[in-house]
Each structure stands twice: as structure tokens, then as C-alpha cells.
Amino acid sequence: MTFVRSGLFVAIAMVAMAPAGAALAQDLPQRKEIRRIDLSGAPGMEVVSSVSTFKAGDEFPRHLHHGVELGYVVQGAMIQLPGQAPAMMATGAPIQNLRDAVHGGFKVVGPGDLILFTVHSVDKGKPLYDWVK
């Protein structure tokens, strides 16, 4: 993950007031889509903003996106990757995943919920997630 901070709370407030888009069938129940719009000047691309809340015990499977994902850890929690010691995903940490980069694959171990705000600039018409084994 690469770390970036600026203007996130303004962005959250702006998208929270927008109408929600339809989530795709293979989506995670923890993710609430806030808005989905066409990316201006980039035919075939769209921007999807979401808030995801993972409770202790929830797993976030390995996956990739057909575009770029940027985000922010709104509320941090301990996570655990298979075969590794638990590690903190800290409140305030930015999230950045490049096109087709496999990421995720962790279990939330608590103590509280892990809350993520994400914005994806992705290929329109493709699923937001492609699951990776």
C-alpha cells in the first residue's frame, strides 16, 4: 500500500449525500456502494465510491480490479494474512492498488470493525472484483 491523505473527509461528505448505485451480484455484503458515475474524458471507464465495514472474523478474499483503487482506512483494526502474525491496518492509512494487482486475502481479527472508504476508476461493464485463489 502507498500512503496518501488530503481532502478525504470532504470527499466522504460529498459522496455520502449522493444516491447509491447498484452493487454487482458477486459483491461482498460488507461493501456499500455510494455512487457510480462515468469517468469524464475516459470513454469506457467509470468511478465507483464505496464504504466497506468488516467485523472481527470477516474475511476479505484475494482479488484484483480492472483499474485503479484508492482509499482510506476510516477505522483501523488488526488483520491477519494466512501464515503470518496479525498486523495493524491503521486508522488514517491510505490505500492504493494498481490495475490488476492482486491484494486482500486477510481476515479481520479486531478488536473492532475495519472500515474502508474506497474509490475505484475501473473499466465500465466489468465486475468490480475478480476473485483470485
61 neighbors 77 (Cβ within 8 angstroms): no
pLDDT, tens digit (0-9, with 9 covering 90-100), for 80-129: 999 999 999 999 999 999 999 999 999 999 999 999 999 999 999 999 99
Has residue 60 been placed in a domain? yes
What is the number of structural domains in the chain?
1
pLDDT, tens digit (0-9, with 9 covering 90-100), for 80-89: 999 999 999 9
Has residue 119 been placed in a domain? yes
CATH for 29? 2.60.120.10
**Residues spanned by the domain of 102:** 8-131
Residue 79 three-state SS:
strand
Pairing of β 45-54 and β 31-38: antiparallel
pLDDT band for 27, please (50, 70, 90 cuts).
confident
Residue 52, burial from CB neighbour count under 10 angstroms (0-12, 13-18, 19+): buried
pLDDT, tens digit (0-9, with 9 covering 90-100), for 60-83: 999 999 999 999 999 999 999 999
Cα 128 from Cα 110, distance rounded (Å): 26
* Stretch 9-13: mean pLDDT: 38
* Stretch 42-65: mean pLDDT: 97
- The number of CA neighbours under 13 Å toward the Cβ of 26 is 9
Has residue 2 been placed in a domain? no
99 neighbors 43 (Cβ within 8 angstroms): no
Strand partners, 103: 63
* Stretch 5-22: mean pLDDT: 39
And the C-alpha cell for 57?
Answer: 472474523
Has residue 3 been placed in a domain? no
pLDDT band for 133, please (50, 70, 90 cuts).
confident
Instruction: Quote the mean pLDDT of the chain.
Output: 85
Dihedral (Cα; 108, 113, 118, 122), 10-degree rounding: 40
pLDDT band for 57, please (50, 70, 90 cuts).
very high
